[in-house]
Structure 1
């Protein structure tokens, strides 16, 4: 039974990897047959795991939230954890622009989007507080500001190629880091 569960989990991960790659290359409206082909599974396997496109996209969103959670956990008590997570979010935008654009376009009150946003806010609350305490960022930064920051990073989606998006997101991170640090105070 455990072996069957492990096989099912592996197939599910394979489908998600394939969907991520296909949607990243062709957009979220790409034919699901491309996902089946890339994952090298049957259509029945795809639909047994994900009854429709929405379920597949939501699973990718949940996977992204889980990735952020793992990163926050791995960074532990580092004062700069917030900035590392933001860099990870930026890299994800470069890697998968179609999914990032889709998630930005979905109604913010959509239950899956709302739950993901609230989970991310909760995950980033402690790293924000550590960054503030260490003097790495402005004291008025709140977890809810992460949605605005994500939107700012999303401007990198305007890049027509992966390289252009990478340059835009790198510049956005530079500007954001400076802005998050707050105004420079003259020395007494």
Structure 2
């Protein structure tokens, strides 16, 4: 029985990888047959795992939240963990622009979106506190500011190519780092 569960988990991950690639290339409205083809599974397998497109997109969102959780755990007590996570978020925007754009466009009060946002706030609570304590970050930064920061990073979506998005994301991170440090002593 454990082998069957492992196979099912592997197929689910395979479908998510395929959906991520297909949506990244063709947008979230791409035909699900492209996901089936790329994942090399049958339609029934796709729909057994994800009954509709919404379930598939929500699973990709949860996967992103899980990646952030793993990254925060891996970074441990590093004072700069917040900045590493922000860099990871920027990279995700570069790699998967269609999904990032979709998540920015949907109603932020939808239950899965709100739950993901609240989970990310909680995951970043300690990294923010450590960055503030270490003097790496302005003392008035709040967890809810992560939504605003994410929106700023989302400006990288204006890039038409992966290279353009990467350049824009890098520049946004540079500007954000300066802004997150806060004004220099004696400034407004």
Q: TM-score, normalization: structure 2?
A: 0.98
Separation in structure 2 between the aligned mates of residue 3 and residue 101 of structure 1, nearest angstrom = 37
How far off its partner does 1:185 sit?
Answer: 1.2
Separation in structure 2 between the aligned mates of residue 179 and residue 159 of structure 1, nearest angstrom = 22
Alignment correspondent of 1:50: 50
Alignment correspondent of 1:161: 161
What runs of 5+ residues in structure 1 fail to find an aligned partner? none
Matched, 1:96 2:128: no
What runs of 5+ residues in structure 2 fail to find an aligned partner? none
How far off its partner does 1:116 sit?
Answer: 0.1
Alignment correspondent of 1:148: 148
How far off its partner does 1:109 sit?
Answer: 0.4
Q: RMSD between aligned alpha carbons?
A: 0.4
How far off its partner does 1:162 sit?
Answer: 0.2
- Give the alignment of 1:34-183 within 5 angstroms: 34-183=34-183
Alignment correspondent of 1:185: 185
Matched, 1:20 2:26: no
Query: Which secondary structure does the structure 2 equivalent of 1:18 belong to?
Result: helix
Q: Provide, for residues 112-151 of structure 1, a one-character-per-residue CA deviation record: whole Å limited to 9, x for no partner.
A: 0000000000000000000000000000000100000000
Tell me the matched-pair count.
186
Separation in structure 1 between the aligned mates of residue 81 and residue 185 of structure 2, nearest angstrom = 24
Separation in structure 2 between the aligned mates of residue 7 and residue 168 of structure 1, nearest angstrom = 39
Query: Which secondary structure does the structure 1 equivalent of 2:135 belong to?
Result: coil
How far off its partner does 1:183 sit?
Answer: 0.5
